[in-house]
Amino acid sequence: MDKYSENTIRNVIFVSHSGAGKTTLIDSILYTHGAATRQGSVDEGNSLSDYDPIEISRKISINVSLLHAVVGKVKLNCIDTPGYADFLLELRNAVPAADAAILLVSAYDGVEVGTQRTWDVLEKNNLPRGIFVSKIDKENSEYIKTLESIQENFGKKCVPITMPIGNAETFKGVANLLTKSGWDALSDDEKSKAEKLRESLIEQIAEVDDNLVEKYLNGDELSDDEIAKAFKEAIKQNIIVPVFCGNALAQIGVKELVEIIVQDFPAPVDRGQIAGIDPKSKEEKIIPPKSDQPFSAYIFKTISDPYVGQLSLFRVYSGELKANTDFYNVNQGTVERFGQLYSLQGKEQVPVDAIFAGDIAAVAKLKNTKTGDSVSDSKNQVIFENTVSMEPAISFSLKPKTRQDEEKISQALAKLTTEDKGIKVGRDAQTKELILSGMGDMHLEITIERLKNRYHVDVAVGTPKVAYKETVKRSAKVHHKHKKQSGGRGQYGDVWLQIDPLERGGNFEFVDKIVGGVVPRQYIPSVEKGVRKVMGEGSLAGYPLVDVRVTLYDGSYHDVDSSDMAFQIAGGMALRKGVLEASPILLEPIMDVEVVIPGEYMGAINGDLSSRRGRVQGMEAAGRYETIRSQVPLAEMLKYANDLRSMTQGRGSYTMHFSHYEEVPGRIAEKIIAMTKVEHKEE
């Protein structure tokens, strides 16, 4: 087995807007470098990267997948990521496994919403990167126009390394601006453009080193070695973002890209020392990324494989790991055993005996280890920054269609939430509905498709109910006597209750003010039990009653016919009547909503939030983006994820958390009560 470690590995994550060609480019890299016997095709459903049945049918990536090619003595690990907005968490979780990135921009579509979103993730993590302009062969594609758009959006540090020979239908190859290979095939006009681009490139490379800047300004020519050394350092420091171009399906421009990745992109050892946390002292712990150090690694992805079960993908930061050895899970505080180790080629698992610092591999059937966990040598424990989390944006209610599905759904959902950290599952305590939450419509649709296809669980899908509550606005006194005689022992319970509103959040108080034994002591808990039962059912529209004080202050009893049940019924009926006399109202959940949008959408989003009965609490600018903080009723936010995407062309995002309950406006409350009564009749 060849040993690949911190000097001979390149870990590159491929990112883009959906449809820009990440998967096709990786398939082309594997084919052109002997790791595949054919060029994979997303359209034909035989890509090595998109192997999930749902990916094949929908022709999009929905999972992170890992593939590799060997280029000379270097192992190139390619991490393919979804481009669709609903699966952004997959990208964020995989970033810690990479040392560099390739961002794809379609020459046909230009810089899109998802392009900006993924660039922002790379910027936040300060990940060295390059840009590959794809689909150069498409009609109406213009490389220079696309390059200008890239520089306008991402800055002048994005500099071309290759340029197309020909354009659109006449595109036939690429010319290298650094080495000048391919220049002979350029037209005179193209050579003129190439000269200007090369001059700008050399100028930016020179700026990495003060000595080179001085030499360049003096008009002295920089040597090839000086250019090469400075270029590599500029990429490592993220001072220069090299821009490439090509047609991956025709394998044009792919070798030139890979050559730069292998020669100039950072190896794991170039990443520098990795910062973690010592779990005992809670202080920073520095990990040298070398194979002669104690073992440490990070789990960045979990896959449910139908044949081998759970697969855990991990990046080794330091040390050496052999198959069938124990390790310590620092997050869970447990010892587990790595069984057979695998190097992944899409869905193919290639067994390996050991892996070393800098490499990425997979292991099957770990019991307690989850995505985001740090694993290490037990004597040298370290915790790396945990997986990025995102708040779900949309929810569906789920109802199993059969009793058999009901029995299987919990286990199936547990497996899916282990695999996909963007999914949240819970049961609403008030409505009793099973709620599935995720990042968008497509995310939840695919989750439900997996439930059916992978775990054979069929569910009915609906919009979650809003957890309204009831309360009262004024005090009332009410009397109810429960008296029933039907032969033999009868039923008798007689109570007087006072109902008072409490401050919001006061919940419920039961006060006993009985004097003189008009209601015997043994029956007072029965009155409270009956009251509590109705508190859970409500009087106005069947929603729980809150923020109420109920005082039992008078009543009567019968020596023979009084019983626990009679006083329960009397207490409950008295409260039900009394609420209707105490100005009952509906309360609705109000959410703290934070919307992040490009500045040009500010007016539209503010207006939309107002139309949803929202109250803007504040606004804050950060670069090109504006953050709007507001409070909005939950009932107005159930389908906001799709509406926001439509209003901002997919460039907006939001988070939402429960704040408090408020009174529902009268007209809206009337509609809710009427609808609820209809639903209760139908049930």
| Rounded distance between C-alpha atoms, residue 63 and residue 240, angstroms | 30
**What per-residue confidence (pLDDT) applies to 70?**
96
Domain boundary among 548, 582, 616: 582
pLDDT tens digits, 106-137: 998 888 877 888 998 999 899 999 999 999 99
CB 495 within 8 A of CB 530: no
| Rounded distance between C-alpha atoms, residue 341 and residue 68, angstroms | 15
168: in domain: yes
Task: Provide DSSP, 494-516.
Answer: EEEEEEEE--TT--EEEEE---T
CB 411 within 8 A of CB 405: no
* Short-list 95, 188, 105, CA closest to 141: 105
Q: What is the mean pLDDT of the chain?
A: 90
| Rounded distance between C-alpha atoms, residue 96 and residue 49, angstroms | 20
230: in domain: no
Strand-pair category, 548-556 with 508-512: parallel
530: in domain: yes
Tell whether 32 and 82 lie within a shared domain.
yes
| Rounded distance between C-alpha atoms, residue 188 and residue 671, angstroms | 73
Helix, strand, coil percent content, the chain, rounded in steps of 5: 35, 30, 35
CB 359 within 8 A of CB 286: no
Tell whether 32 and 136 lie within a shared domain.
yes
What is the rounded radius of gyration, in angstroms, for the C-alpha atoms of the chain?
32
pLDDT tens digits, 59-107: 889 889 999 999 999 999 999 999 888 888 899 999 999 999 999 999 9
What b-and-e string marks burial along 12-51, b requiring 16 or more CB atoms within 10 Å of the CB? bbbbbbbbbbbbbbbbbbbbbbebbeebbebeeeebbbbb
Task: Check the CA dihedral 563-569-572-575 and report its sign.
Answer: negative
* Short-list 362, 347, 364, 350, CA closest to 309: 364
Tell whether 115 and 245 lie within a shared domain.
yes
Tally of domains within the chain = 5
pLDDT tens digits, 542-580: 889 999 999 999 999 998 899 999 999 999 999 999 999
Tell whether 562 and 602 lie within a shared domain.
no
Tell whether 165 and 17 lie within a shared domain.
yes
pLDDT of residue 426 exceeding 80, the answer is yes
Tell me, what CATH number does 435's domain have? Answer: 3.30.70.870
328: in domain: yes
* Short-list 396, 422, 400, 395, CA closest to 412: 400
Tell whether 449 and 515 lie within a shared domain.
no
Q: What is the mean pLDDT of residues 151-169?
A: 91
pLDDT of residue 683 exceeding 60, the answer is no
188-206 vs 210-217: helix axis angle to the nearest 10? Answer: 130
Tell whether 436 and 515 lie within a shared domain.
no
**What per-residue confidence (pLDDT) applies to 1?**
47
Looking at the chain, the whole-number percentage of residues with pLDDT higher than 90 is: 59
Looking at the chain, the whole-number percentage of residues with pLDDT higher than 70 is: 98
Task: Provide DSSP, 244-303.
Answer: EE-BGGGTBSHHHHHHHHHHHSPPGGGG-PEEEE-TTT-SEEEE---TTSPPEEEEEEEE
349: in domain: yes
Tell whether 158 and 298 lie within a shared domain.
no
Tell whether 577 and 642 lie within a shared domain.
no
Tell whether 246 and 348 lie within a shared domain.
no
Task: Check the CA dihedral 490-496-501-506 and report its sign.
Answer: negative
| Rounded distance between C-alpha atoms, residue 663 and residue 504, angstroms | 10
pLDDT tens digits, 219-273: 888 888 888 899 999 999 999 999 999 999 999 999 999 999 999 999 999 988 8
CB 420 within 8 A of CB 64: no
Give Cβ neighbours of residue 617 (< 8 Å, ≥ 6 apart): 629, 630, 631
113: in domain: yes
pLDDT tens digits, 620-657: 887 677 889 999 999 999 888 889 988 988 778 888 88
**What per-residue confidence (pLDDT) applies to 678?**
77
* Pure H helices in 113-207: 113-124, 143-154, 188-206
Tell whether 245 and 159 lie within a shared domain.
yes
Tell me, what CATH number does 150's domain have? Answer: 3.40.50.300
**What per-residue confidence (pLDDT) applies to 392?**
78
* Short-list 381, 371, 127, CA closest to 276: 381
224-236 vs 254-264: helix axis angle to the nearest 10? Answer: 80
- Containing structural domain, residue 414: 395-462
Tell me, what CATH number does 295's domain have? Answer: 2.40.30.10
208: in domain: no
Task: Provide DSSP, 194-218.
Answer: HHHHHHHHHHHHHTTSHHHHHHHHT
233: in domain: no
Q: What is the mean pLDDT of residues 472-494?
A: 89
pLDDT of residue 441 exceeding 50, the answer is yes
**What per-residue confidence (pLDDT) applies to 638?**
86
**What per-residue confidence (pLDDT) applies to 681?**
66
Tell whether 536 and 438 lie within a shared domain.
no
